[in-house]
Structure 1
Amino acid sequence: MEYSYPFSTDWTTEEVIDVVKFFEKVEQAYEKGVQREEFMSAYRRFKEIVPSKAEEKTICNEFEEASGYSSYRTIQKMNSLPDGEKIKMSK
């Protein structure tokens, strides 16, 4: 991994850690797959920290530009799967 995670200087240390955990789940979905419930939990926490759709889009786009992993497509996949399924993304 040769990139950094996007974050806001307004966030607490705990919030930065939780946002990084969300992006790690996105990475995991692409690299080996992640359980839908695990991803959903990380996404819910992310949305507590970043409630604005516009800010979410900006941060997720920054992450995608740096990593090549799409948070948006992973979230779409999460919403289309039933509980108990594994999210497995491909580039």
Structure 2
Amino acid sequence: MEYSYPFSIDWSTDEIVDVIAFFQTIEKAYEKGVKREEVLSKYRRFKEIVPSMSEEKTIFREFEEESGYVSYDIVKQTKTSPNGTIIKGISRGKR
């Protein structure tokens, strides 16, 4: 699948790499599943870079439009699941 990841020109190279790593974790959750702790770690770093909820929603929406993956669903599942859980996305048929 070829698509671009959302990012801000105001971010440093390291921040862009970390945001892409977060979205790759979202992809992995949909494709094969990923441990809750990995998603949580990547999301926490993402929130250091994107602390604003409105900006988060915008970036999540851009990523969903490009990829078909719904970041919000994975983050919500991560927040409500116990440690050790494998987080797996359910395709909504948008891809």
What is the TM-score with the length of structure 2 in the denominator?
A: 0.94
Mapping 1:1-91, distance limit 5 Å: 1-91=1-91
CA displacement 1:55-91 (0-9 Å, x = unmatched): 0000010000000000001111101210011101110
What is the TM-score with the length of structure 1 in the denominator?
A: 0.98
Question: What RMSD in Å do the two structures reach over aligned CA positions?
Answer: 0.5
Q: Identity of paired residues, percent?
A: 60
Gap regions ≥5 residues in structure 1: none
Q: For 1:84 and 1:52, how far apart are their aligned partners in 2?
A: 28
